[in-house]
């Protein structure tokens, strides 16, 4: 079963990633601006501009550029950055560890916040405590990263001076970006944890356990938690790709030198090969996150393995 799911997802990933690469390629060429201007400036001579355009193969027909791009992609050649001439894959690998560090801290923070909040809301379902917890989670989902980040920066960096404003070298520099990126995920997971716990507690097996004299805390944490964990873990896995995508905004706000900031910088400079490489990496993580969610669901829930 697991092998079949992997094979199906891998086969589905090929046209998905191909579609992403195609869409990004043509959309980039529709965006106003010229990478030659980023290299030479708008005041450069026409002859110099044409020579640079020829050297970068930008004078070729768009379809020919596209086929050349796909051919290189299938051959494992991601191309070189237009701006500095270095390999696209090399530049991405330099920035990826910073994004992975930010994503890891954000995911841990989300779990620390979401699970107790979801349990608290489920245990006091229908009460003012439940409404307060879910109101807090709704607030976390509603606040966008591009607003929350500057507000945290204004309060904790500018006003209180507790954390650095930007970058990743100073002590505590990861705190505010991790909070910004992890808050929305924590809100989503807490609502999922609440509903999953309540659904598990409504099953006949829980009522039987309660009638047999099993302690209430044991029912919540040992019996119901196992069933509630399936949708929560699946949602957590699905959000892994979303965290990487959300890092684009968060890294830009905090000048965090990761893949998200590299994507924005390459878009601003019209660095076509680098933008395509960054987007493909993010799309690949989305595909892998979906595969991981499927595998975790099969592992945690025997009913899925038997097709029930």
DSSP notation for 47-100: HHHHHHHHHTTTTS-HHHHHHHHHHHHHTT---B-TTT--BHHHHHHHHHHHHH
Inform me whether the pLDDT recorded for 3 exceeds 70. no
Phi and psi dihedrals of 250, rounded to 5?
-60, -45
**For the segment 117-165, what is each residue's pLDDT rounded down to a tens digit?**
888 888 888 888 888 888 888 888 888 888 889 999 999 998 988 998 8
Here the tokens at position 181 are 């990126």
Burial of 259 (0-12, 13-18, 19+ CB in 10 A): buried
Q: Does domain 90-305 have CATH number 1.10.3720.10?
A: yes
Pick 117 or 208 by higher pLDDT. Answer: 117
Q: Provide the greatest CA pair distance for the chain.
A: 88
Q: Give the chain's mean pLDDT.
A: 83
Quote the pLDDT of residue 300: 65
User: ∠201-206-211 over CA atoms, to 5°?
Assistant: 135
pLDDT average, residue stretch 155-177: 88
| 202, 166 contact by CB (below 8 A) | no
Least confident of 4-8, 18-22, 157-161, 176-180: 4-8
Quote the pLDDT of residue 208: 80
Quote the pLDDT of residue 176: 93
Inform me whether the pLDDT recorded for 172 exceeds 80. yes
Q: How far apart are CA 123 and CA 127, in angstroms?
A: 9
Quote the pLDDT of residue 93: 93
Q: Would you say the pTM of this structure is higher than 0.95?
A: no
The ranges assigned to domains in the chain are 35-77, 90-305
pLDDT average, residue stretch 112-120: 88
Inform me whether the pLDDT recorded for 91 exceeds 90. yes
**For the segment 232-288, what is each residue's pLDDT rounded down to a tens digit?**
887 887 777 778 777 888 999 999 999 989 999 888 888 888 988 888 888 888 888
| 210, 131 contact by CB (below 8 A) | no
């Amino acid at each position: 079963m697991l092998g079949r799911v992997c094979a199906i997802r891998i086969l589905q990933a090929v046209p998905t990633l191909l579609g992403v690469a195609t869409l990004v390629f043509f959309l980039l060429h529709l965006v106003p601006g010229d990478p030659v201007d980023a290299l030479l400036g708008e005041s450069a001579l026409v002859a110099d501009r044409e020579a640079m355009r020829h050297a970068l193969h930008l004078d070729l027909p768009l379809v020919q550029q596209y086929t050349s791009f796909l051919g290189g992609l299938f051959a494992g050649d991601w191309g070189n950055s237009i701006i500095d001439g270095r390999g696209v894959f090399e530049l991405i690998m330099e920035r990826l560890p910073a994004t992975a560090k930010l994503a890891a801290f954000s995911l841990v923070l989300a779990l620390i916040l979401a699970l107790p909040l979801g349990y608290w809301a489920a245990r006091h379902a229908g009460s003012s405590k439940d409404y307060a917890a879910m109101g807090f989670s709704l607030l976390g989902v509603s606040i966008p990263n591009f607003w929350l980040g500057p507000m945290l920066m204004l309060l904790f960096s500018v006003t209180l001076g507790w954390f650095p404003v930007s970058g990743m070298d100073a002590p505590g520099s990861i705190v505010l970006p991790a909070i910004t990126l992890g808050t929305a995920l924590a809100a989503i997971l807490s609502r999922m944890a609440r509903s999953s716990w309540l659904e598990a507690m409504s099953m006949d097996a829980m009522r039987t356990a309660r009638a047999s004299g099993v302690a209430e805390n044991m029912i919540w944490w040992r019996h119901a938690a196992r069933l509630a964990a399936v949708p929560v873990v699946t949602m957590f896995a699905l959000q892994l790709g979303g965290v990487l995508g959300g890092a684009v905004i968060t890294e830009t706000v905090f000048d965090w030198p990761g893949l998200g900031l590299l994507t924005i910088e390459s878009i601003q400079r019209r660095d076509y090969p680098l933008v395509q490489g960054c987007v493909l990496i993010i799309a690949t993580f989305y595909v892998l996150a979906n595969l991981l969610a499927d595998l975790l669901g099969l592992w945690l829930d025997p009913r899925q393995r038997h097709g029930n």
